[in-house]
Structure 1
Amino acid sequence: MPRIRIFYGWWIVAAGFGLEALIGALLFHAYGAYVVLLREEFGWSKTMLSAAFSMARAESGILGPVQGWLTDRFGPRALMRVGVVLFGVGFLLLSQVGSPVTFFLTFFVVAMGSGLAGYLPIGVAIVAWFRRRRALALSISSTGMAVGGLLVQLVALALTHWGWRWTAFASGVVILLVGLPLAQLVRHRPEPWGLRPDGDPPAADTAAPGRAPAAVVERSFTAKQAMRTAAFWHIAIGHGAALLVVSAVMVHLISHVTERLGLSLQQGAAVVTLMTVMQIAGQLSGGWAGDRFSKRAICVGCMVAHALALVVLARASAFWMVAAFAVMHGFAWGVRGPLMSAIRADYFGSASFGTITGMSSMIVMLGMMAGPLVAGALADSTGSYRAGFDTLAALAAAGSISFFLARRPPAP
């Protein structure tokens, strides 16, 4: 039988999936559980623990343009290897902290590592390797973050039985042993390897009977040209509004359900698991839909769903209401997430995608920073998350308007 060759772009998608799973399981989805235990041991406020998360996101926003330029200039693999080392070493150091200062410093290292190893460089590589199936490839890769949410039950179990210090140390070891080989698989562009995006044959062969359809002709903006368009700013503002909700939920969901409904830490992790199952369903269906229908219209609908879900969570008095939130928010997050990269690549091309995404991050990360701070500060001052969640829901609803206005710009 003839040997079936898998297009190498799919190996890059698999590597991205694995790295996103590590980041999701050990950091983003698990941070809320760490918050509960750190508050118990040190008595630190929700505002302070929210500030650590927000500070780390500020790093991504500030360094995003530089990281984007470096990724376009030197390729994603070099940055990802550095990121994996920082990510792993940061967790090893986190296991030894004993004061707010050391916690902030070590968490900064963890966050910087996860940023260098994760979303932006993975997206740069996938955008360069795919055009027709770009949304699907991005959605499969980003599903790793959601699968990490499923694995958070294991992290919660480790936190319960081993404590947060040993769990953090073990996380660092796993990151170094698994993350470095995955980063090594990533390549920047297919052309130096004699390949074309989507695995298409050479241009001269595409007209032959039975061949794959002709490659999509791509238009590319420079970063300066993209920033002169209204679409660049509307997408960035809408994306930032979405992350207001996502980041607040990451940090405060488990605290909210354990304090308001009296759930255990592992029951709180089960809510995250349900949300993550819906996120996976949303990512896979959203990737398929994004290659066929208007990405902009899909994003508008997802923002409305984010807002409604947070309103339900703010008023949750029974487990079914928390479950309803998890279903709505998880599905909307899953559908919308991969389309953030896909719509930018469709509008602005892949040539300067890293720099364009990095410039966007200065605005996007304002949402990632503000979400936990708003929810945490209002919870500390009012004794409830309701006011904070309602405020963020209103801002998320307003974000749907930004996506509605984000029309494709004319070619430069």
Structure 2
Amino acid sequence: MSKEPIYRRLPIYYGWIIFLMSVLTYLFMYGLRYSMGVFFVPLQDQFGWTNAMTTGAVTTFFLVYGLSGIFVGRLLERIGVRKSMFVGGLLLGSGGVLSSLVNDLWQLYVTWGVIAAMGASILYILPNMILARFFLKNRGKAIGWSSIGISLGQAVLVPFAAWLILIYGWRLTYVLLGSLVLVVVCFLGYLIFRESPESIGLEVDGGKQAQGENATKTGNDWTLREAAATNVYKLMNVSYFFTVGVIISLLTFVVPHIIDLGIDSLLASSAFGMIGVMSAVGSFIFGIISDRIGRKYTIIVCATGITFSIFISTIIPSNITMLYAWATLYGLTYGGLPEQYATIVADYFGTKHGPSLFGIIFFTGSLGGGLLPLIGGYLADLTGNYYATLVFLGFGMCVAVATILPVKPPRRRVSPVRS
């Protein structure tokens, strides 16, 4: 009996079910990932490790996380979507569970810095690119809104992890969080994710048609070699390098800068929380906007907003009202930006090789996320404050805008026909 009638009889388009699973995936993946900070104190207390020693596990995680992105597309081509999602959940979940057994620092570097990081890389790239296969008219909404799961992970699972550590200790907390990932992402994800709408007898967007810049033909799939030869793809890489580098740096330095202004550390941290809340709002709003004005212009609007917010942060007074106004501006534009790059890759180069194409861009962004905070930290140490760092980051965001401005849908070169 054909599966087609089953999916067609559902009250909603199956792509939205995959969207909900993507939100859950990001909730648990980022919840576990961002919870690492709350494990630092109990690990340091028990083993006598320094901040530098425990932070090294996070640095290792970030490097492996970015490098693994290069290979996600190949994994998908070899074993398919469902098995790839299962592998990603298995690596992240088991990395968390195995971290409960560590007694030496190198073990934490392996379980969290390598095993969990490889799984997290798979679980970030694949949901976005699978959603791109199921949506065209509503692609911006589906991919943009899925990142709300990231905000939920920060808001829900991180404090939940802190509570679990307080009640049950860090070892059992690792087991519980890792097990949640195994159950939800591995098994539920394997049951729900599908290769494409065509594989289950459906059409993209449930049969609805897209218009304008976003209406790239679904059959217009570029290979990695073809795309890499275009200036468009190269400019996307440069823009994403600075976008991720600036965002990671700002999230690193903004709270210390606010405290240096004379604002209470608790209020400074609450502003950071405001950024998380507004980023979820920004994901929702700019998901809608991108389907109307296109990904390129959405990136320009959001990146310009972040640029203004960075330069404003250099002159912001020691005033809590102004601080929250700044956090609102930055949070809104930050929430609407990163996922647009995955969307524009699918729009311009198709979805067949999307995971490989975005995997390279993802790796480039990770390089920016590793390098720019180092430069920003050096400038802060050199000057004794964060003003030079913020100015540097503001100009870095200007580069992100400047390199996305000339981007337009690429055209394949047609070899001349010899008579």
Note whether the superposition's TM-score is higher than 0.5. Answer: yes
For residues 284-343 of structure 1, what are the alpha-carbon distances to aligned partners after superposition, in whole Å with 9 as ceiling and x for unaligned?
111111111032122122223223334455676454454334322221122112211111
Match of 2:109 in 1: 104
Assess if the C-alpha contact under 8 Å between 1:91 and 1:171 holds in 2. Answer: yes
Q: Which residue of 2 aligns with 1:342?
A: 343
- Cα distance change on mapping 1:272 and 1:175 into 2, 3 Å: farther
CA contact (8 A) 1:31 1:250 kept: no
Partner of 1:203: none
Which string of whole-angstrom CA distances, capped at 9 and with x for unpartnered residues, describes residues 265-299 of structure 1?
A: xx666434321221111111111111110321221
Identity score, percent: 25
Seen in structure 2, the aligned counterparts of structure 1 residues 271 and 372 have a Cα distance that, compared at 3 Å, is same
Distance 1:314 1:349, change over 3 A: same
Counterpart position of 2:5: none
Give TM-score scaled by structure 2 length.
Answer: 0.82
Query: Bigger CA drift: 305-314 or 125-134?
Result: 305-314
Corresponding residue for residue 186 of structure 1: 193
Structure 1 residue 406 and structure 2 residue 407: aligned?
Answer: yes
Deviation, 1:222, is 1.1
| TM alignment of 1:60-99, pairs within 5 A | 60-97=65-102
Where do 1:242-253 residues align within 5 Å?
242-251=243-252
Partner of residue 202, structure 2: 195
Instruction: Specify the alignment match of 2:60 in structure 1.
Output: 55
Asked if 1 retains the 8 angstrom alpha-carbon contact of 2:305 and 2:329, the reply is: yes
Residue of structure 2 equivalent to 1:205: none
Deviation at 1:239, TM superposition (A): 1.4
- How big is the shift at 1:227? 0.7
After superposition, the Cα gap between the structure-2 partners of 1:271 and 1:37, relative to the gap in structure 1 and judged at 3 Å, is farther
- Specify the alignment match of 1:172 in structure 2: 178
Q: Give the 5 Å matches for 1:112-123.
A: 112-116=118-122, 118-123=123-128
Residues of 1 paired with 2:407 and 2:55: CA distance? 31
Q: For residues 372 and 378 of structure 2, what CA distance do their matches in structure 1 show?
A: 10
Unaligned runs of 5+ in 1: 201-211
State the partner residue of 1:293: 293
Contact kept, 8 Å, 1:94 with 1:168, in 2: the verdict is yes
Asked if the contact 2:137/2:205 (under 8 Å) is kept, the reply is yes
- Whether the aligned pair in 2 keeps the contact of 1:33 and 1:254 (CA below 8 Å) is no
1:41-71: CA deviation from partner (whole Å, max 9, x where unpaired): 756346x665543432322333322211222
CA distance in 2, matches of 1:269, 1:26: 20
Give the structure, 1 or 2, with the largest relative contact order (CA under 8 Å, sep 6 or more): 1
Partner Cα distance (2:389, 2:300) in 1? 22
The answer to whether the Cα contact below 8 Å between 1:35 and 1:251 also exists between their aligned partners in 2 is: no
Deviation at 1:94, TM superposition (A): 3.0
Once the two structures are overlaid, the 10-residue window that deviates more, 387-396 or 30-39, is 30-39
Cα–Cα, structure 1 residues 214 and 292, in superposed 2: closer, same or farther, change >3 Å? closer
Looking at structure 1, the residues matched to 229 and 71 of structure 2 have their Cα atoms a distance apart, in angstroms, of 19
Give the Cα separation in 1 of the matches to 2:391 and 2:250. Answer: 13
Structure 1 contact 83–114 (Cα < 8 Å) conserved: yes
SS in 2 for 1:75: helix
More displaced 10-residue stretch of structure 1: 120-129 or 174-183: 174-183
Deviation at 1:171, TM superposition (A): 1.8
Give the corresponding residue for 1:133.
138
* TM-score of the pair, normalised by structure 1: 0.83
Q: Distance in 2 between matches of 1:242 and 1:163?
A: 37
Q: Which runs of 5+ in 2 are unaligned?
A: 1-7, 414-419
What pairs with 1:247-266 in structure 2 (closer than 5 Å)? 247-251=248-252, 261-264=263-266
Cα pair 1:20 1:148 within 8 Å, conserved: yes
Secondary structure of 1:350 counterpart:
coil
Equivalences for 1:247-396 in 2 at 5 Å? 247-251=248-252, 261-264=263-266, 270-312=270-312, 317-376=318-377, 384-396=385-397
- Alpha-carbon distance, 1:133 to partner: 1.3
CA RMSD, Structure 1 to Structure 2 (Å): 3.2
Q: Counterpart amino acid of 1:331?
A: L
- Matched residues in 2 for 1:213 and 1:281: separation? 27
In the alignment, which residue of structure 2 is the partner of 1:145?
A: 150
Amino acid at match of 2:196: R
Measure, in 2, the Cα distance between the counterparts of 1:157 and 1:383.
36
The change in CA–CA distance for 1:36 and 1:175 in structure 2 (over 3 A counts) is: same
Equivalent position of 2:26 in the other structure? 20
Write the deviation string for residues 194-241 of structure 1: whole angstroms up to 9, x where unpaired.
Answer: 1111111xxxxxxxxxxx558953322111111111111111111121
My pick for the range that moved more, 97-106 or 350-359, is 97-106
Residue 382 to residue 75, structure 1, CA distance change in 2 (3 Å): farther
Separation in structure 2 between the aligned mates of residue 257 and residue 39 of structure 1, nearest angstrom? 27
Query: Aligned partners of 1:139, 1:403: CA distance in 2, in Å?
Result: 19
How far 1:75 moved relative to its partner? 2.0
Distance 2:144 2:127 in 1: 12
Q: Distance in 2 between matches of 1:126 and 1:361?
A: 17
- Give the 3 Å change call, closer, same or farther, for CA 312–158 of structure 1 in structure 2: farther
Equivalent position SS for 1:292: helix
Q: 1:50 to 1:393 in 2, by over 3 A?
A: farther
